[in-house]
C-alpha cells in the first residue's frame, strides 16, 4: 500500500516518539492498534484501512483552525487555507460521484444524515412557510408563527428501512433522534426472500405519505434499485434521501451503475468516508442544485466548526478514489464478497437472502445453536473480527442477535482475493461448528457464554496468520 514506506516509517516512528514524551500510554495504544489490526482478519463490513497519505493528512495544524460557515463566507478571519481544502474536497466529491453539489463538512455519517434531514425540512417546510408568511428568515416570524412552524417540523413523516431488516438507526429507529424527530414508518423485507418488496413499499408509502423516503442500509446484503425508489418517492410526493454510507466505495468504483447508482435518482445523498470508500472517518452530503442551498446550512444548523484536517484527508481519499486502481479495488470487493458467501453456503452456513451482491454477507448463526454474540466472541478468540447483527425479525433482539455481519472492504485492501476469501469461509465455518453455548443455571442454553472445542481457536489464529503475513498491512512500516 505504501511506495515510500521506509520514509513514512521514519516519520511515524519519530511522531510516536514525540507523543510518547507527553503521554506514553497513548503512543502505546497507537502501536498496539497497528499490531492488533495486522494480526487479525478484519471482516467488519463498515471498516477499512485508510492509506498512509490519508492518515498523514489528518495529523496537521489544519486541525487548529476554526472555520464555521461556507467556502468564502466564514464567521472567522484567516480561513483562506481551509477554503482551499474545502473547495478541493468538494470538487473531487462532485467529480467522483457526478453530483451537482457536494458538502464535505459533516464530521461523521450520523452528522451527514442530520444535515440531510434538516436540509430537506428547510427546503420543503421552512422555506414555503416563510414565503407564505412574507418573512425572510425565522427571525421575522411572530412568536405564534414560529411556534406553529416548530410544531410542523415534528409532524413530518419519514419512511426508512427497519433496523432488523438492515436499515440504520438514523433511518427512523425509535431510540435515535430520527425516530423522535419524525413520525416514522419502517419498511422491512419479504419474509420469504429477504429482499425489499418494492410493490409493498409503494402500497405502504401511498398510505403513510412520507415527506422523506430513506433508502440505504447497514446490513442488507443486496443492491437497491434507486430508480424504483425514486418512482415511489415521486408518486407519493416524498423527497428521496439515500444513505450510501456503506456502499459509497462501490458507487465511486463504478460497481453500482445505472439504476443501482443512487446519485442520479436521489434528491439528497449522505455518506461516510471511512467504510468502503477507504477515507478518513467522516461524512459528506451530495445534493441536486435545488437542495444545495439548504444543505449548505449544515453549519450552524447541525454542525459546529468543520474539522479542516479531516476535510483535507477526505480530499486526498476522493483523489485516490478517482484513480483507475480504485475501480479494480471496488470490483474486487464485490467479487470477493460473492466468493465468501459461496464458500460459507457450500459449507452449510445459512445466509440472509441466500447470498450477496454487494460488499457484505449476513450470517444467521441460529442453525449452529448460537446467538450472534456468542459467534462474534468465539470468532474474535480465533483472530476473526466481525460484529453481531440482527437478522430480520430477530428473536434475540438487538443485543444478543442471531446474526453476524461480515464484509470484504478491509481484507480486499490488504490484497486478499478469491483463494484467500474461500479460506476465510473455511475458518469461520470451522469456528462456528466448534462452538457451543454454555447452559445457564436454569439449564437452558445461555445467550452470552460459550465454549470452543480444544485447539480450534489456536489453529484458526495460526491459519489466519499465514494469510495475513502473505498480505501485510502497511508493508515496510516498522514502529
Ligand atoms: N449510515 C449508515 C448506513 C451506517 O451504516 C452508519 C454507520 O455505521 C452511519 C450512517 C453512521 O456513521 P458514523 O458512525 O460515521 O456516524
Mean pLDDT over each residue of the chain, to the nearest integer: 96
Sequence spans of domains, the chain: 62-321, 325-470
State the virtual CA torsion across 335, 338, 343, 345 in degrees, nearest 10: -170
> Would you state the pLDDT for residue 408?
98
The CATH architecture annotation of domain 325-470 reads Alpha-Beta Complex (3.90)
* 282 closest CA partner among 57, 15, 42: 57
Tally of CB atoms within 10 A around 237? 12
Catalytic residue IDs: 66, 68, 243, 272, 275, 281
> Mutate which of 170, 275, 389 to test ligand 1's pocket (most atoms within 8 Å of Cβ)?
170
User: Does 3.40.640.10 match the CATH number of domain 62-321?
Assistant: yes
Stretch 415-429: mean pLDDT, rounded? 98
Fold match flag (62-321 vs 325-470): no
Confidence of residue 445 (pLDDT cuts 50, 70, 90): confident
Q: Give residue 295 CA to ligand 1 midpoint distance, Å.
A: 18
| pLDDT attached to residue 9 | 78
- Atom 2 of ligand 1, residue of closest alpha carbon: 245
pLDDT of residue 39 exceeding 80, the answer is yes
Whether 169 is in the pocket of ligand 1, judged by its Cβ within 6 Å, is no
- Lookup result for grid cell 458467501: 341
Kindly report the protein residue whose alpha carbon is nearest to atom 14 of ligand 1: 109
Asked whether residue 477 carries a pLDDT value surpassing 90, the answer given is no
Q: Is the CB of 42 under 6 A from ligand 1?
A: no
pLDDT, position 5: 63
Please report the atom of ligand 1 found closest to the CA of residue 274. Answer: 15
Res. 2: pLDDT tops 80: no
pLDDT for 1 equals 45
β-strands 384-385, 360-364 pairing:
unpaired
Query: How close is the Cα of 156 to the center of ligand 1, in Å?
Result: 23
Model confidence pLDDT, tens digit, residues 331-389: 999 999 999 999 999 999 999 999 999 999 999 999 999 999 999 999 999 999 999 99
Contacts of 452 (CB under 8 A, 6+ apart): 378, 381, 382, 431, 434, 435
- Short-list 427, 428, 422, CA closest to 343: 422
Q: Is the CB of 387 under 6 A from ligand 1?
A: no
Amino acid at each position: 500500500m505504501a511506495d515510500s514506506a521506509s520514509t513514512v516509517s521514519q516519520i511515524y516512528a519519530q511522531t510516536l516518539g514525540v507523543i510518547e514524551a507527553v503521554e506514553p500510554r497513548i503512543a502505546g495504544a497507537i502501536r498496539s492498534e497497528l499490531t492488533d489490526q495486522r494480526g487479525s482478519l478484519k471482516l467488519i463490513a463498515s471498516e477499512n484501512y485508510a492509506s498512509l497519505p490519508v492518515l498523514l493528512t489528518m495529523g496537521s495544524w489544519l486541525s487548529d483552525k476554526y472555520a464555521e460557515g461556507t467556502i468564502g463566507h466564514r464567521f472567522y478571519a484567516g480561513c483562506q487555507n481551509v477554503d482551499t481544502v474545502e473547495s478541493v474536497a468538494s470538487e473531487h466529491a462532485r467529480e467522483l460521484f457526478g453530483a451537482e453539489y457536494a458538502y464535505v463538512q459533516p464530521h461523521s455519517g450520523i452528522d451527514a444524515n442530520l444535515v440531510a434531514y434538516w436540509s430537506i425540512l428547510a427546503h420543503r417546510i421552512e422555506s414555503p412557510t416563510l414565503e407564505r408568511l412574507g418573512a425572510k428568515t425565522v427571525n421575522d416570524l411572530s412568536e405564534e408563527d414560529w411556534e406553529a412552524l416548530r410544531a410542523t417540523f415534528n409532524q413530518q413523516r419519514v419512511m426508512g428501512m427497519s433496523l432488523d431488516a438492515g436499515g440504520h438507526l438514523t433511518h427512523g429507529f425509535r431510540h435515535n433522534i430520527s425516530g423522535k424527530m419524525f413520525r416514522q414508518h419502517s419498511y422491512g423485507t419479504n419474509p420469504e426472500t429477504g429482499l425489499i418488496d418494492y410493490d409493498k413499499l409503494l402500497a405502504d408509502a401511498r398510505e403513510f405519505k412520507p415527506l422523506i423516503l430513506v433508502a440505504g442500509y447497514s446490513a442488507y446484503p443486496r443492491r437497491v434499485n434507486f430508480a424504483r425508489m425514486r418512482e415511489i418517492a415521486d408518486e407519493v410526493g416524498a423527497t428521496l434521501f439515500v444513505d450510501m454510507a456503506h456502499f459509497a466505495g462501490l458507487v465511486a468504483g463504478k460497481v453500482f451503475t445505472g439504476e443501482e447508482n443512487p446519485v442520479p435518482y436521489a434528491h439528497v445523498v449522505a455518506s461516510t468516508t471511512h467504510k468502503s470508500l477507504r477515507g478518513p472517518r467522516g461524512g459528506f452530503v451530495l445534493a441536486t442544485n435545488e437542495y444545495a442551498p439548504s444543505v449548505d446550512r449544515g453549519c450552524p444548523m447541525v454542525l459546529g466548526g468543520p474539522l479542516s484536517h479531516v476535510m483535507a484527508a477526505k480530499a486526498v481519499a476522493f483523489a485516490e478514489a478517482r484513480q483507475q486502481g480504485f475501480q479494480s479495488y471496488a470490483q474486487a470487493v464485490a467479487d470477493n464478497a460473492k466468493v465468501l458467501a459461496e464458500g460459507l453456503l457450500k459449507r452449510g452456513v445459512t445466509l440472509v437472502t441466500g447470498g450477496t451482491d454487494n460488499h457484505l454477507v449476513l450470517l444467521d448463526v441460529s442453525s449452529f445453536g448460537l446467538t450472534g454474540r456468542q459467534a462474534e466472541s468465539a470468532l474474535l478468540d480465533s483472530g476473526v473480527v466481525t460484529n453481531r447483527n440482527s437478522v430480520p425479525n430477530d428473536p434475540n433482539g438487538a443485543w444478543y442477535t442471531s446474526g453476524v455481519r461480515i464484509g470484504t472492504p478491509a481484507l480486499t485492501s490488504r490484497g486478499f482475493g478469491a483463494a484467500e476469501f474461500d479460506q476465510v469461509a473455511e475458518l469461520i465455518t470451522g469456528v462456528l461448528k466448534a462452538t457451543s453455548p454454555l447452559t445457564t443455571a436454569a439449564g437452558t442454553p445461555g445467550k452470552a457464554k460459550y465454549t470452543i472445542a480444544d485447539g480450534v481457536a489456536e489453529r484458526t489464529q495460526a491459519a489466519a496468520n499465514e494469510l495475513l503475513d502473505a498480505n501485510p498491512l502497511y508493508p515496510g512500516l516498522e514502529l
